[in-house]
Amino acid sequence: MTTLIPPAGPGAAARQLLTGGGPSTDTADMVPDVVEILCELIRIPSVNPMGQPAAGAPYYEQALTDHLERFFHHLDVPVVRQSIAPQRDNLVACLAGTGNCEAGPIIVFDAHQDTVPVEGMTIPPWEPTVAAGRVSGRGACDVKGAMACMLTAFARLARDRPPGRPTLLMACTVNEEYGFSGAQALVQAWSTAAGPLCRRRPDQVIVAEPTDLHVVAAHKGVVRWRCHAVGRAAHSSRPDQGDNAIYRMAQAVLALQAYAATLQQRPGDPALGPPTLNVGTIRGGLSVNTVPDYCTIEIDRRLLPEDAPEVARQDVLDALAGHPALADRLRHDPPFLVSRGLSDHENRALAEQLLLSIRRLGHDAHRVRVPYGTNAPFYAEAGIPTVVCGPGSIDQAHTADEWIAIDQLTAAVEVYYAVGCGATTTAQNTSR
């Protein structure tokens, strides 16, 4: 049976907590249901426009940020917003540990608020369904499912206040899918002792992404930029009087295809594979009866953890410059996204402690390396041991019928709760 409303019972209290209903005498005893929290998150569109013009619903994270802020207010914990861009605020909540934020360990849960666009979906993107042991909807897997698990664990910790717990920051960041600007701004604030609710660098970060509850200790980086072919406009009845920029760009794309093939021959990582290049978009021309004087592509160059983004990008530019027909016809913008890969050199102790905790809960988890990118490298570059771990499979992320398994959600809640109780804090002295 398929339903748009999760099962009743504890969900009634959760609905009051989530929707900003009036406080009740037993609010402190409420522990929201993870499935209901996820359904509420899915119902609130937070689409990243991915660099394209956009305004209002369903774009940007503001409505979801407002919703999350109410959630933390009802838990009676400090919560602050960090403005990143119009309609885009990081939200950081703090559950103080047994010690204090100056002396005791500080752990960060990071979950990004944005989702990819919904074009081409075969299910209603913002009408969550619960059926056959799954929750479906845009963001169910990437990454509102893991966010719901972190929120559920956070609420339980706020209720239980277990002794010996570290200080826990819940960071709901923006613009992960296209620019990582939320995580970058948060790290920058911490580096200047002006971070939201935290005046020093945290000790550990757990980044939420769909990893099937495996612990990602290393992943690829990326550098992305736009390349423009320059031509000369003319009437299409006299194409000889113009210089067709699309034809020029077609030559450049073929050259990039050949370059991408050479990358496949380079030594790679056994798990991550070789570095890669992809041309993801192409746009050009004014009308069908005009010789186009411009054409633009977006280039995605994936990096191994040890690769320097600026070196990798320059290698591509040099390869294109080696083609005489292209050398003076192409213009390259500065990168609009740069992220080094996540290295496992500084996070091994944290990864092992988290794996031990997951296995104690009965799950067969492993330390893995993956080809996609996350917020994690920005925390790691600041010297904070950081790993990636969450429910769901990356195979379901961004799909036309996106879903996540409920048993993965319930398992992840227990994992995050254990972390919030201090299951990984013994790693902090050996991770630095």
pLDDT in tens, 100-116: 556 789 999 999 999 99
By CB atoms closer than 10 A (0-12, 13-18, 19+), residue 83 is exposed
Report pTM: 0.89
120-157 pLDDT, tens per residue?
999 999 999 999 999 999 999 999 999 999 999 999 99
Residue 231 has pLDDT above 80, yes or no: yes
Domains of the chain, first to last? 10-219+341-431 (3.40.630.10), 221-338 (3.30.70.360)
Q: What is the mean pLDDT of residues 222-238?
A: 96
The pLDDT, as a whole number, for residue 289 is: 97
Residue 404 has pLDDT above 90, yes or no: yes
Query: 149-153, 268-272, 357-361 — which is least confidently predicted?
Result: 268-272
170-206 pLDDT, tens per residue?
999 999 999 999 999 999 998 887 777 777 889 999 9
The better pLDDT of the pair 2, 277 is held by: 277
Task: Check the CA dihedral 348-349-353-356 and report its sign.
Answer: positive
Highest mean pLDDT among 102-116, 221-235, 267-281: 221-235
404 CB-side CA count, 13 A: 38
In this structure, are residues 337 and 222 in contact, taking their beta carbons and an 8 Å threshold?
A: yes
The pLDDT, as a whole number, for residue 29 is: 55
In this structure, are residues 402 and 325 in contact, taking their beta carbons and an 8 Å threshold?
A: no
What is the DSSP-derived secondary structure letter of residue 215?
A: E
- Distance from CA of residue 354 to its chain's centroid? 20
